[in-house]
């Protein structure tokens, strides 16, 4: 039984049907675009990633040079002075801590020399100047 003045169930409102069909077509196009194309990789502005890495490494306290290559270097240098030297593992780690601390300090001073010379990139002349100011032998 129908209410008087209402449309029969088989009759639908034409503008609504058209709008639904348009929406279905547009969503189908969007789905096709997403599946077929290659996603564009994210690009950060120059310097953003560098600053993020600086913050990351300043927070952490882990060693940055790999242990095995450093150990091989220590053994190679030690062979110049005496053959068949043996090292405790803690001794090699202590040498590595000291070497990394020295390098970090040297790069800090080198960066100050580069900033003083009004350039951003550190150069070998900045390293030489930093070592000369520190009083180290060349």
Looking up tokens 């580069």 gives 114
Dist. CA 80–CA 58, nearest whole Å: 35
Structure tokens at 47: 């310097």
Q: What is the pLDDT of residues 54-93, one digit of tens each?
A: 999 999 999 999 999 999 999 999 999 999 999 999 999 9
* The pLDDT of residue 10 is above 80: no
Global confidence as pTM: 0.67
pLDDT of the residue at 32: 61
Kindly list the structural domains of the chain, giving each domain's residue range(s) and its CATH number in brackets, ordered by start: 61-134 (1.10.20.10)
Confidence of residue 23 (pLDDT cuts 50, 70, 90): confident
Angle at which helices 89-116 and 67-81 cross, to 10°: 100
Residue 41 structure tokens: 């990789």
């Amino acid at each position: 039984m129908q209410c008087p003045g209402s449309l029969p169930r088989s009759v639908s409102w034409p503008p609504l049907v058209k709008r639904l069909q348009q929406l279905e077509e547009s969503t189908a196009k969007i789905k096709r675009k997403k599946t077929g194309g290659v996603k564009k990789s994210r690009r950060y502005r120059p310097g953003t990633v560098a600053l993020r890495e600086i913050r990351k490494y300043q927070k952490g306290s882990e060693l940055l040079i790999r242990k095995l290559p450093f150990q091989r270097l220590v053994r190679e240098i030690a062979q110049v002075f005496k053959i068949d030297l043996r090292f405790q593992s803690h001794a090699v780690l202590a040498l590595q801590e000291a070497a990394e601390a020295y390098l970090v300090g040297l790069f800090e001073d080198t960066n100050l020399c580069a900033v003083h010379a009004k350039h951003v990139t550190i150069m070998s002349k900045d390293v030489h100047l930093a070592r000369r100011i520190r009083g180290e032998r060349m």
